């Protein structure tokens, strides 16, 4: 049974999400502020965190950064702020998904299931191409033997490209498969993360090939 930490300062939101999560047979922990969320995430076995952005004591973005220092747990951000900058910043600090308020609890649970499913897809598989090693099971990437410092979203993007190595993939397909079918981003979201991913790959950045007017392809 997966354990979910719901961090939101609005009790009604926590209550509704708890009811839907428990209906889906998840075990639920709750936190009402950012500091409590960090403490609970570090002290408990947590499989996924639903984190509100605007919270007392410590905002959601800062809380995620603190959690990421010790645990690589998937995170879904909740926010009433719809600006693309906020979404991109959330992904850059390691969020796996971003849901804007008001939202449907069913939609949130669908996203929870999708994020957890992506995590379970990682089989005991390691891919080596020149000096680039992609350890899918360990969720690690090594560049010439040195572990790359990558965000979870960068890894998911690389993981998907690796599964489809040699295949041309459109930006729209990447948005659908990596960010979710109803993510309200655009091509710039993909391009921004590809740029970040290339920087993480260093001398092997050219393995991600840009297909003008279409998308990207990973050549291994």
The predicted pLDDT at position 39 comes to 95
- Is residue 12 a contact partner of residue 36, using CB atoms and an 8 Å limit? no
Confidence label for 123 from pLDDT (cuts 50, 70 and 90): very low
The rounded Cα 68 to chain-centroid distance in angstroms is 12
In the chain, the percentage of residues whose pLDDT exceeds 90 is: 46
Q: Is 144 helix (H, G, I), strand (E, B) or coil?
A: coil
- Is residue 35 a contact partner of residue 149, using CB atoms and an 8 Å limit? no
In the chain, the percentage of residues whose pLDDT exceeds 70 is: 90
Q: Is the pLDDT confidence value at 213 over 90?
A: no
The predicted pLDDT at position 82 comes to 61
The predicted pLDDT at position 203 comes to 94
Q: Which one of 3.40.50.2300, 3.40.640.10, 3.40.50.10490, 3.40.50.1100 gives the CATH number of domain 3-120? A: 3.40.50.2300
The predicted pLDDT at position 21 comes to 95
The class that CATH gives domain 126-218 is mainly alpha
Confidence label for 84 from pLDDT (cuts 50, 70 and 90): low
- Is residue 193 a contact partner of residue 153, using CB atoms and an 8 Å limit? yes
- Is residue 33 a contact partner of residue 25, using CB atoms and an 8 Å limit? no
Provide the residue ranges of all domains of the chain, joining segments of one domain with +. Answer: 3-120, 126-218
The model's pLDDT over 130-189, given as tens digits with 9 standing for 90+, comes to 999 988 767 789 999 999 988 888 888 998 898 888 889 998 888 888 877 555 556 688
Least confident residue range of 44-53, 66-75, 131-140, 195-204: 131-140
The whole-angstrom separation of Cα 178 and Cα 157 is: 6
Does 147 or 213 have the greater pLDDT score? 147
Q: Which of 98, 101, 90, 100 is nearest to 68 (CA)?
A: 90
């Amino acid at each position: 049974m997966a354990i979910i930490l719901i961090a939101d300062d609005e009790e009604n939101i926590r209550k509704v999400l708890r009811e839907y999560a428990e209906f889906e047979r998840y075990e639920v922990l709750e936190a009402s502020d950012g500091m409590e969320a960090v403490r609970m995430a570090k002290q408990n076995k947590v499989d996924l965190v639903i984190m509100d952005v605007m919270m007392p004591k410590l905002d959601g973005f800062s809380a995620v950064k603190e959690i990421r220092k010790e645990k690589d747990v998937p995170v879904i951000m909740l926010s009433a702020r719809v600006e693309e900058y906020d979404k991109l910043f959330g992904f850059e600090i390691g969020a796996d998904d971003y849901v804007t308020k008001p939202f449907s609890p069913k939609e949130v649970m669908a996203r929870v299931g999708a994020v957890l499913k992506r995590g379970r897809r990682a089989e005991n598989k390691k891919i080596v191409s020149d000096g680039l090693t992609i350890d899918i099971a360990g969720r690690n990437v090594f560049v010439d033997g040195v572990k790359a410092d990558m965000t979870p979203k960068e890894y998911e993007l690389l993981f998907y490209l690796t599964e489809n190595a040699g295949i041309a993939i459109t930006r729209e397909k990447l948005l659908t498969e990596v960010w979710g079918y109803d993510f309200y981003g655009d091509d710039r979201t993909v391009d921004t993360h590809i740029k970040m991913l290339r920087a993480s790959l260093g001398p092997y950045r050219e393995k991600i090939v840009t297909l003008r007017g279409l998308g990207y392809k990973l050549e291994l």
